Amino acid sequence: DGGITQSPKYLFRKEGQNVTLSCEQNLNHDAMYWYRQDPGQGLRLIYYSQIVNDFQKGDIAEGYSVSREKKESFPLTVTSAQKNPTAFYLCASSIENHSYNEQFFGPGTRLTVL
Amino acid sequence: AQSVTQLDSQVPVFEEAPVELRCNYSSSVSVYLFWYVQYPNQGLQLLLKYLSGSTLVKGINGFEAEFNKSQTSFHLRKPSVHISDTAEYFCAVSDRNTDKLIFGTGTRLQVFP
């Protein structure tokens, strides 16, 4: 079955700790994305990557970092610099980063800062 | 910059009734438009998309949407809803200049028996 997996489903973090959210896809897609979802605010783009070893900041990149060492993997690190990290995080991918391409979404990771 | 407005944050409706979820976007230049559905604690799933051609687009689960260029709208409709349609629905527009997908704030559809 082709798709996108995210792990863990739920993640708890103490203030001041960095945490890494996993995103893997076996769709052979070139482009991958990370979004943050907060109640009543829709989805906001954190980072995206069009090819391996390259990525660009989205609209709310501060306090986050990513890497794209493999085509199928795009992990997101939430650093201690992120002031309000509690949110639902969604990873997505598309064939290419073109505006007409459908994005496929993973099931999400809910991060809670204690 | 592109923006998307979903006018209703919540839409309650009884089962088997028709429903319309409204979506307006900001730019009148050529756009690509999408509707996604999100069930509780899950990712988003594409319902339908408008790229070009016929302004009436049919999607999965009996949903359809109509692209109206003059009104910059892309409203989602279903003639008869089911309990299982209870979910959050997101309208999104592609910004052709940046290739980014801009999402609305979502509409929660609640179907009652």
Which residues of chain B are within 8 Å of residue A97 when distances are taken between CB atoms? 99
Lowest mean pLDDT among A23-32, A95-104, B59-68: A95-104
**Residue A105 contacts B, CB cutoff 8 Å:** yes
Cα nearest neighbour of A104 on chain B = B45
Confidence of residue A1 (pLDDT cuts 50, 70, 90): low
Short-list B83, B67, B87, CA closest to B25: B67
State residue B28's pLDDT score.
59
Two tokens, residue B16 = 């088997």
Sequence-ordered strand ranges (E) for A1-114: 4-7, 10-13, 19-25, 31-37, 43-51, 54-57, 64-66, 76-78, 87-94, 104-105, 109-113
- Residue pair A108/A8 in contact (Cβ under 8 Å)? The answer is no
pLDDT over 70 (residue A25): yes
Q: How close A4 gets to chain B, by Cα (Å)?
A: 10
Local structure of residue A63 (DSSP, 8 states): T
Residue B9 has its nearest CB partner, among A40, A48, A106, at A40
Average pLDDT, chain A: 92
- Which helix (H) or strand (E) segment holds residue A87: the answer is strand A87-94
pLDDT 10s digits, B28-82: 577 889 999 999 888 999 999 998 888 999 999 999 999 998 999 999 999 999 9
Distance CA B91, CA B16 (A): 23
Determine how many CB atoms are found less than 10 A away from the CB of residue A86: 14
Cα nearest neighbour of A41 on chain B = B105
* pLDDT (average), residues A91-114: 88
Distance CA A78, CA B103 (A): 22
Which residues of chain A are within 8 Å of residue B43 when distances are taken between CB atoms? 4, 6, 90, 92, 105-108
* pLDDT (average), residues A31-46: 92
Check A100 against B32: CB less than 8 A apart. Answer: yes
Backbone angles phi, psi at B83, to 5 degrees: -55, -40
Short-list A76, A74, A46, CA closest to A62: A46
